[in-house]
Amino acid sequence: KIEKKQSRETEHVNTSGDNWMHPFGLALGINNDQFTPWKELFFGKHQSIVLVEGDIDKEYFLLLRSADHGENKLPEDIEIFPYGGTGNLSKGILLRFLKNRYHNIFVTYDLDAETHVSGALESLGFEKRKDHLPIGINSPGKKNLEGLLPDSILQSVYQAHPDLVQQAMNGTTDEKKSAKQRIKRYCLDEFKAKASPSDEYYGQLYKIVNSIKKAFKTK
């Protein structure tokens, strides 16, 4: 509490309820609503985190924690957190706070969003490959995580759901968004059903894991 521009006493605020974000909002000058997607990060157990775009991306990273991947395994002590779309990466004050909060923080995002995302991150002191990395292959239709999957997985999904593919290309804005999300889910399901820990299926994903491990090791 401040009286006559002097600190008088410290107030302890209970952060276990719905008002958990209040003290952080006061300290950072951010509207409390902006904290909602980030609650787990403020009370995370680990000191190393990887931010991924969405829940489906997180599921791919969780698959990489299996001991069957050997030296390409993603360590258990790395927290994986979905930030809910690249729009949330525009919250500069919040990202700067998280960068200082954690010993290691690494941001991933789809390659097709690199133009507007990388500049924003680098203005906050994030360095490419050391703190952030675009995911995907620089080829039409593959500038996202699904672009790293074997063609056999993608073709199987496209052949099984031709109507969704058409909707993703020719629907309204909302229809395209819905179709793409459903296709992403089907790709994940197909990958889980068929993929075995090997370069054939995980080769491109292993490259991301090794980039993360290298970045964290050099800090």
115: its two tokens:
């133009």
> How confident is the model at residue 9, as a pLDDT?
82
Determine the Cα–Cα distance for residues 2 and 113; give it in Å rounded to an integer: 43
> How confident is the model at residue 139, as a pLDDT?
92
> How confident is the model at residue 36, as a pLDDT?
64
Per-residue pLDDT tens for 107-128?
A: 999 999 998 899 889 988 899 9
> How confident is the model at residue 24, as a pLDDT?
74
Residues in Cβ contact with 156 at an 8 Å cutoff, skipping those fewer than 6 apart: 190, 194
Task: For residue 94, give the DSSP letter.
Answer: H
Above 70 in pLDDT, residue 106?
yes
Q: How confident is the model at residue 16 (pLDDT cuts 50, 70, 90)?
A: confident
Determine the Cα–Cα distance for residues 33 and 27; give it in Å rounded to an integer: 15
Per-residue pLDDT tens for 46-104?
A: 789 999 999 999 999 999 999 999 999 999 999 999 988 888 887 777 788 788 888 89
> How confident is the model at residue 166, as a pLDDT?
95
> How confident is the model at residue 35, as a pLDDT?
64
Beta pairing class for 48-52 and 104-110: parallel
Determine the Cα–Cα distance for residues 113 and 75; give it in Å rounded to an integer: 27
Per-residue pLDDT tens for 149-177?
A: 999 999 999 999 999 999 999 999 999 99
Determine the Cα–Cα distance for residues 48 and 83; give it in Å rounded to an integer: 15
Distance of CA 28 to the CA centre of its chain: 23
Per-residue pLDDT tens for 130-139?
A: 999 999 999 9
Determine the Cα–Cα distance for residues 29 and 93; give it in Å rounded to an integer: 9
- Region 198-216: mean pLDDT is 96
Q: Are 75 and 213 in contact (CB under 8 A)?
A: yes
> How confident is the model at residue 219, as a pLDDT?
56
> How confident is the model at residue 33, as a pLDDT?
66
Q: What end-to-end distance do the CA atoms of the chain give, in Å?
A: 37
Query: Measuring CA to CA, which residue among 36, 16, 35 is closest to residue 93?
Result: 35
